[in-house]
Amino acid sequence: MLNISNNKITNVDLTTFKSGKEIFTKEYHKRFKQFLLVFSVIILIILFLPWTQNISSKGNVTTLRPNQRPQTLQSQIPGRIEQWYVQEGDFVKEGDTILRISEVKSEYFDNQLARRTQDQLNIKTQSIDAYRNKVIALENQIKALQNERVLKLEQAKNKLTQAHLKVKSDSIDLEAIKTKQSIAEIQLERVVNLQKEGLKAVKDVEEKRAKFQEANAKLISQENKYLTSQNNVINAKLAISTLNATYQDKLAKARSSLFTAKSATLDTEVQVSKLETSVANYTKRSSLLYITAPQDGFINKAIKSGIGETFKEGEQLVGIMPANYELAVEMYVRPIDLPLVHIGEDVRVQFDGWPAIVFSGWPNVSYGTYGAKVVAIENFISDNGMYRVLLAPNKDAEPWPTAIRVGSGAKTIALLDNVPIWFELWRQLNSFPPNFYQPQDSKKVEKSKLKKLK
């Protein structure tokens, strides 16, 4: 103490008093401390409980197969609405007529267009038969000309052979006559010499001279025959050449006519083919004037509703919802979470409109959620920057509600690895991603691939 005052401080034991004893000897917060101790023990135990890591996402109810999803009906041709046979909400079977349309293009206004085109097709088909008969006639004419040419050439060759033989015969006769003429000349000279000597009479000389003159005449005649036979050989060769040229010209003209007929046949066949295509197109187009249901379903909405309203080809006319479908859910996951999702993994789904108590880390104690499995994972990112995952009902879990409609909302919880709660809290505080792991099936597939590569 500072000993400022002369008064001394005396320590008084307050516990000797009744009120002091009541206050200072009593243990306050004993139960609260016990509660804190028990609570701390419970929290410590809870931290070691298992927790299922998960990826939460929002999605929509859809169908498992593309042909079961809502669709719109379009017309393959432009037209004008003439009559509706259904109204919104009606059930239609496959092939039922939904509406009738009419043509808006002037080239298709004729109601008998297909029949008239069929008549043109029949006439053109008959033209093909006529051209084919002409082709056959020309082919027969060509064969006849070829046979005639062969016979004529053989005849001309025979004449040529005869001319050659006549030349040989005339040449032999010419040589014989030359020999006789030379003999007659020698005899004449001999008789003339004998007559000069007085051994022969003038009469004998005149006879020999006459024979000599006769031999000369025969020689000239035979030479003329020989030249004539040579000229016949030349004429026979010229006749053969003329026959070849004549028949080649005739065959060329016949072949030209044949090719013209064949070309006309092919051109007519092309026209027939075009007419057949036109008939098929006109017949098909006539059937397109009635819009029919592609499958059993319900009429959702009439997009083009007015009578007389025109539209272009490909425009949506009416929406239809298939009657038979298998429900599925499409969810979207972030790119960072995509490697954690695998086909066949379990997912819990909460549908909009169905009450649920959800413990994301303890799916077994959640209420109001339904089981699903991953059946498809999109390989390309969607417009919203996430990847689309398709879920199908888990057949081993409880069935989905039957009143679910396609297009309603859903919340999904993709179940991943099981870890302690303290580890999950530590991961969340550090913003780490969930544990990356591979299912057993995918590991086996990867091992088999590595073995094949080796």
Q: What is the pLDDT of residues 317-338, one digit of tens each?
A: 999 999 888 889 999 988 877 8
Residue 92 domain-assigned (yes or no): yes
One domain, residues 241 and 379: no
Residue 42 covered by a domain: no
pLDDT, one tens digit per residue, over 163-188 is 888 888 878 887 888 888 888 778 77
Say what the pLDDT of residue 448 is. Answer: 45
Angle between helices 30-47 and 421-429 (to 10 degrees): 90
- Between CA 161 and CA 373 the distance in angstroms is 103
Domain range for 86: 71-103+289-321
Tell whether 18 is covered by a domain: no
* Predicted local distance difference test score (pLDDT) of residue 53: 64
Phi and psi at 435, nearest 5°, equal: -60, 130
Residue 129 and residue 227 in one domain: yes
Q: For position 93, what pLDDT does the model report? A: 92
Query: What CATH number is given to the structural domain containing 376?
Result: 2.40.30.170
Instruction: Select from 306, 321, 336 the last residue of a domain.
Output: 321
Q: What's the domain count of the chain?
A: 3
Asked which of 71-80, 133-142, 293-302, 435-444 is least confident by mean pLDDT, the reply is 435-444
Q: Does 43 or 20 have the greater pLDDT score?
A: 43
- Residue 435 above 70 pLDDT? no
Segment among 47-56, 212-221, 227-236 with least mean pLDDT:
47-56
CATH number, domain containing residue 99: 2.40.50.100
Residue 249 and residue 119 share a domain: yes
Taking all residues of the chain, what is their mean pLDDT, rounded to a whole number? 81
Whether 135 is covered by a domain: the verdict is yes
Same domain, 97 and 133: no
195 and 312 part of one domain: no
What is the percentage of the chain residues whose pLDDT exceeds 70?
A: 81
At 1 the pLDDT is: 46
pLDDT one-digit tens code per residue, 203-218: 777 777 788 788 888 8
Q: Judge if 118 and 98 occupy the same domain.
A: no
pLDDT at 413 over 90: no
Last residue of a domain, one of 277, 302, 321: 321
Position 8 scores a pLDDT of 59
Which has the minimum average pLDDT: 125-134, 141-150, 171-180, 438-447?
438-447
Q: What is the CATH number of the domain that holds 259?
A: 1.10.287.620
Domain check: are 125 and 172 in the same one?
A: yes
pLDDT band at 80 (very low <50, low <70, confident <90, very high): very high
Straight-line distance from the first to the last Cα atom of the chain, in angstroms, rounded to the nearest whole number: 93
pTM: 0.57
Lowest mean pLDDT among 42-51, 228-237, 267-276: 42-51
The pLDDT score that the predictor gives to residue 445 is: 41
Most confident of 27-36, 65-74, 170-179: 65-74
Same-domain pairing of 363 and 219: no
* Residues 296 and 347 occupy one common structural domain: no
Q: pLDDT class for 383, splitting at 50, 70, 90?
A: confident
